């Protein structure tokens, strides 16, 4: 769209960054009080929701963007972000510090608190701001909703299904004492070793498709977000890190041999070794 309001989008970048920063700084204060930095994982989804809410308010006050699209991207972001925050919060109750953060902070040169602020909270705040670009771009797009928005919402729904159902299946599996020490290879985990990460992947590519309604130029700006998220999920702190942690678990090598590493596919070799459907 040649009439895309680039100036208004540029003005939105600062309050969006402020929203992400505020969430992470509040989380940092809570972490220092509680003595656990794993709470930052809860702030991930909350931060995106805050950016979406601020963008919705600022774009509305400026009289920019189509109202239906603004409501759509706010709803999609908030539903995904708040579900994720609640899930992680419930999952982490009663647990101590996350081993990832404990190992990182053990190498801190000087104050652990200030090192955590720089390397965990401010870094995650910057990532929230960057990855939220499709939400910001879409919120300022003029013109009515089109097929791009429909396609994006459908892909987002597929992602939310894989993420929410996969998380639920894993939680139920872990809650059964009979499964202690076993590898989860059932339900959606039979099709991909990471249904939750694949779900995140679909959510952010879906939001990017909605942003494509803004036109080629704005879409090119928004493209960096799903690319960064895809890298984090597949090569960064998602799939790659978890699989290194799981590598020595009994039965995991066999699970890897028969199950797709990311995109859902039928398992190789048929049923699982447990005989219950991998």
- Which residue, 168, 195, 196, 173, is CA-closest to 184? 173
Higher pLDDT residue, 1 or 184?
184
Segment 213-232 mean pLDDT: 97
What is the domain partition of the chain in residue ranges?
6-165+204-238
Percentage of the chain lying above the pLDDT 90 cut: 81
Q: pLDDT tens digits for 146-173?
A: 999 999 999 999 999 999 999 999 999 9
**Contact assessment for residue 169 and residue 184, using Cβ atoms and an 8 Å cutoff:** yes
Given the structure tokens 């694949």, which residue do they identify? 198
pLDDT band of residue 103 (cuts 50, 70, 90) is confident
At residue 270, the pLDDT reads 53
Report the mean per-residue pLDDT for the chain.
Answer: 93
Examine the pLDDT at 272 and tell me if it is beyond 60: no
**28's tokens:** 């940092």
């Amino acid at each position: 769209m040649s009439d895309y309001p680039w100036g208004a989008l540029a003005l939105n970048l600062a309050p969006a960054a402020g929203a992400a920063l505020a969430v992470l700084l509040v989380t940092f204060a809570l972490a220092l009080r509680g003595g656990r930095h794993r709470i930052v994982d809860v702030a991930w989804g909350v931060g995106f929701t805050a950016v979406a809410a601020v963008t919705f308010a600022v774009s509305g006050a400026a009289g920019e963007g189509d109202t239906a699209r603004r409501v759509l991207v706010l709803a999609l972001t908030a539903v995904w972000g708040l579900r994720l925050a609640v899930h992680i919060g419930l999952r982490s109750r009663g647990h101590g510090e996350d081993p990832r953060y404990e190992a990182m902070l053990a190498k801190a040169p000087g104050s652990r608190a200030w090192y955590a602020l720089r390397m965990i909270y401010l870094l995650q705040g910057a990532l929230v701001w960057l990855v939220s670009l499709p939400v910001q771009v879409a919120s300022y797009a003029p013109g009515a909703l089109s097929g791009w928005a429909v396609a994006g919402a459908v892909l987002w729904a597929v992602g939310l299904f894989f993420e929410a159902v996969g998380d639920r299946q894993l939680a139920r599996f872990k809650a059964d004492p009979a499964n202690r020490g076993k590898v989860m290879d059932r339900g959606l985990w039979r099709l991909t070793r990471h249904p939750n990460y694949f779900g995140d992947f679909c959510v952010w590519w879906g939001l990017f498709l909605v942003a494509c309604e803004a036109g080629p130029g704005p879409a090119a700006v928004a493209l960096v977000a799903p690319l960064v998220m895809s890298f984090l999920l597949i090569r960064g702190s998602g799939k790659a890190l978890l699989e290194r942690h799981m590598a020595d678990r009994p039965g995991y090598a066999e699970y890897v041999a028969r199950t797709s590493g990311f995109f859902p596919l039928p398992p190789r070799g048929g049923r699982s070794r447990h005989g219950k459907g991998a």
